[in-house]
Structure 1
Amino acid sequence: MKAFNIMLHSINDVKNFVNVVNRYDFDVDLTSGRYVVDAKSIMGIFSLDLSKPIKVEVHDDDCESFLENIKPFIVE
């Protein structure tokens, strides 16, 4: 499992992020505060506080191409 933070600044960011995540078969969870949602759910993402970084947990060890595709959203 890999974990890191992302920021989604706009509706287009959310849409693009969900489109990328849906290309992969493994599970990806987003955590904001005490809420955990499926990263493939656009409605779930909109229920989170998007003004703060969101923790991403990728449930697969072979996710290098996924990480490359979502690089614009990753924050330190």
Structure 2
Amino acid sequence: MEKVQVLLDSIDKVREFVTIASSVDYNFDLKLGRYTIDGKSIMGIFSLDLSQPLELVGTNESDRAEIVDAFQNFIC
């Protein structure tokens, strides 16, 4: 399980993130404090405080390089 910090501080970034997340075969969770949501859920993402970095967690045994490559524009 790999973890990186991402920042989704605009509507356009959230849309782009969900589009990319939906196009890959593995699953992700986004965590903020005690809240964990599905990284492919646009409504779930909008329920979080997007002014803070979120922790992107690969739920499969995905390769860190794949996560970093796919979400390079969002990593902080």
TM-score, scaled to structure 2 = 0.89
Q: Tell me, which stretches of 5 or more residues in structure 1 are unaligned?
A: none
Amino acid at match of 1:47: S
The answer for the alignment partner of 2:26 in structure 1 is: 26
For 2:67 and 2:5, how far apart are their aligned partners in 1? 14
Question: Aligned partners of 2:41, 2:11: CA distance in 1, in Å?
Answer: 13
**Distance in 2 (alpha carbons) for counterparts of 1:52 and 1:21:** 19
Match of 2:35 in 1: 35
Partner of 2:9: 9
Aligned residues: 75
Matched, 1:50 2:50: yes
Helix, strand or coil for the counterpart of 1:4? strand
Q: Alignment RMSD, CA only? A: 1.3
CA contact (8 A) 2:26 2:62 kept: no
1:26 Cα deviation (Å)? 1.3
Unmatched 5+ residue regions in structure 2? Answer: none
Among all aligned residue pairs of Structure 1 and Structure 2, give the percentage whose two residues are the same amino acid.
40
